[in-house]
Structure 1
Amino acid sequence: MTLSTPLLAAAPLLAGLMGPALLGAAPGRQQADPPAVVAAHPARQAARADVVEHVAARTAADQRRVLDYWTPERMAKALPIGLLDLVTEGTDAGDLLSGLTGDAGVRATPDLSGGKADLSLPRELMGAPRHLSAARPDTSTIGSRWITGGHVAKTTGRVFLTVSGADFVCSASTVKSANRDVVVTAGHCVKDAAGEWAANWTFVPGYGTRGQHPYGQYTARRLFVAGPWSRSGDDNYDVGMVALATSRGRHVADAVGTQDIAFNAGRGGQAFGFGYPADPPYDGGHLVYCAGRLKDDPHAQTRDQGLGCDMTAGASGGPWMTKFDPGTGRGTITSLSSFKYSDDERTMYGPYFGDAVKTLFATAEHA
């Protein structure tokens, strides 16, 4: 559908995904169809089963090739995925890297005159870094270093991937699954909407400074996105599920544990969001969190909810948790970092985990 308001539609942190098929559904709790309705309307059941998958590094040889590809030097040079469109337009990756620091890193606010605008490019630095949190986590912050440790420091990690011949970074989290192999991330960290699938996809849980990977590196076996994301980049479905290979014979869930995941949850309430933002004023080397109350999309262009958060590109796909216990670092994933509106750099939006995401997860956990 075309947009009917002068306000911009949501822009995913993957630059250039225009996503014309925004639903713009009215806010409210999404209810699962009762069995009688499903039986009477098989088309609805088929729509919920609309999952697109891609086989990644399935064999041991393929997995070894991917692991060998990600040298420490390549990981250090990987770009936030929001720069993908510039790479595909022919901009040199070295020039982009140099543009992330110093005066070259200050970019004008994207043009708001029409369509969707990318917010993931380097933006004005927001004063001196203030991202060192206290030992006791805040329940309201738009961006602080997570130094408390706990379960979330292991289950959250960085994603490294290749698209259009260039290397990029995102964030992801393990989730409790039947095969003990599933991580959840943003759809644009898995597939370039209607474009190509990511290659060399690797998850590094508990990523540390100086490129440390204390719990191993896990290559993707199979990648999954919802059909509306694969066909048109619909921001309501910007979710990817990835079934990982084992690392040194261990499933990722056995190595670092998992977080719970829930679907069709009540809207609003308190949430904590986590990720590894890599654009200034962040550098991608530390786990960062935001915390606050969720709110509906003020422009009604998506069913997404917003969280006060100044995390930048690289945080894409990082988990949002409700019922989160800062003491243990455990919670329930109900969304993830997806996009920002260009007139509000301090609010991140995440997709609502309804029936379509539930089906996506069910497919991945049995892969």
Structure 2
Amino acid sequence: MFLTLNGADFVCSASTVKSANKDVVVTAGHCVKDGAGEWAENWTFVPGYGTRGDQPYGRYAARRMFVTGPWARKSDDDYDIGMVALATSAGRHAGDAVGGQDIAFNAPRGGQAYGFGYPADPPYRGDHLVYCAGRLRDDPYKQTRDQGLGCDMTAGSSGGPWLTGFDPVSGRGRITSLSSFKYTDDPRTMYGPYFGDAVRALFTTAQRA
């Protein structure tokens, strides 16, 4: 996905979610709104973005954007989640064009997860999908309620979905978190927020939009 925030252009990652309106994608809150600051502009989702700038399923502009209250008020990393209701592309809903993953809330902590994204900083170029896999663990610094996943993805992967119960054959799983941040002294661990009741409420609002 592509966006402009505070006058600068950025890239992030996102995933379609099975939703009533067939229009919802989930991403990081900081890929939608700069905490208590500005909302993103020119927000565009390009599913299946390719190595030559391919856009095989079209481009989807944001129709409405949502973040959790704690993120909007104080940039709380525990709630770095955004959801966007997309406009149609060539008359098609994103859910009809590419489908969507299931999303789950209040899942057991720990366990195995796969994280996906489009990292854009070196050694990556932002032009192909990358994944990490491993066991989730609590934040050892106890600064957040987030869980960590061993992962060397760089900037641009923010907002990429974390799937539990992932089946590599079918490509299906349940989104239970997403790539949010790294500590500067630990570049090999990505942290993602826990999807609890606040995220459930956010999803309910987004799929009704």
Do residues 362 (structure 1) and 177 (structure 2) align?
A: no
- TM-score relative to the length of structure 2: 0.99
Q: Distance in 2 between matches of 1:278 and 1:257?
A: 25
Q: Distance in 1 between matches of 2:100 and 2:7?
A: 32
Q: Structure 1 residue 209: deviation in Å?
A: 0.6
1:262 maps to 104
Q: Distance in 1 between matches of 2:75 and 2:12?
A: 17
2:137 maps to 295
Q: Which runs of 4+ in 1 moved over 2 A?
A: none
Which residue, out of 244, 249, 258, partners 2:86? 244
Do residues 338 (structure 1) and 180 (structure 2) align?
A: yes
Q: Distance in 2 between matches of 1:363 and 1:282?
A: 35
1:106 maps to none
Provide structure 2 residue ranges, at least 5 long, that are not aligned to the other structure: none
Q: Structure 1 residue 210: deviation in Å?
A: 1.2
Which protein has the bigger strand share?
A: 2
1:352 maps to 194
Q: Distance in 1 between matches of 2:189 and 2:144?
A: 14
Q: Structure 1 residue 202: deviation in Å?
A: 0.4
Q: Distance in 2 between matches of 1:256 and 1:242?
A: 16
Q: Distance in 1 between matches of 2:193 and 2:116?
A: 15
Q: Structure 1 residue 166: deviation in Å?
A: 1.9
2:63 maps to 221
Q: Structure 1 residue 267: deviation in Å?
A: 0.4
Counterpart code for 1:254 = D
Which residue, out of 26, 32, 40, partners 1:184? 26
Q: Distance in 2 between matches of 1:339 and 1:167?
A: 19
Q: Structure 1 residue 164: deviation in Å?
A: 1.8
Which residue, out of 140, 148, 162, partners 1:320? 162
Q: Distance in 2 between matches of 1:254 and 1:316?
A: 25
Q: Distance in 1 between matches of 2:172 and 2:59?
A: 22
1:95 maps to none
Q: Structure 1 residue 167: deviation in Å?
A: 1.3
Q: How many aligned residue pairs are there? A: 209
Q: Distance in 1 between matches of 2:64 and 2:127?
A: 27
Q: Structure 1 residue 311: deviation in Å?
A: 0.2
Q: Distance in 1 between matches of 2:196 and 2:15?
A: 18
Q: Distance in 1 between matches of 2:190 and 2:5?
A: 24
2:36 maps to 194
Q: Structure 1 residue 340: deviation in Å?
A: 0.6
Secondary structure of the structure 2 residue equivalent to 1:258: coil
**Rg larger for:** 1
2:147 maps to 305
Q: Distance in 2 between matches of 1:342 and 1:277?
A: 17
Q: Distance in 1 between matches of 2:198 and 2:207?
A: 14
Secondary structure of the structure 2 residue equivalent to 1:207: coil
Q: Distance in 2 between matches of 1:342 and 1:199?
A: 28
Counterpart code for 2:91 = G
Do residues 232 (structure 1) and 74 (structure 2) align?
A: yes
Q: Distance in 1 between matches of 2:175 and 2:70?
A: 21
Q: Structure 1 residue 171: deviation in Å?
A: 0.3
Which protein has the bigger helix share?
A: 1
Q: Structure 1 residue 177: deviation in Å?
A: 0.4
Provide structure 1 residue ranges, at least 5 long, that are not aligned to the other structure: 1-158
Aligned identity (percent) is 80
Q: Distance in 2 between matches of 1:174 and 1:190?
A: 15
Q: Any idea what the Cα deviations from partners look like across 1:146-171, whole Å, max 9, x if unmatched?
A: xxxxxxxxxxxxx1001122211000
RMSD: 0.5
Q: Structure 1 residue 343: deviation in Å?
A: 1.5
Counterpart code for 1:325 = D
1:162 maps to 4
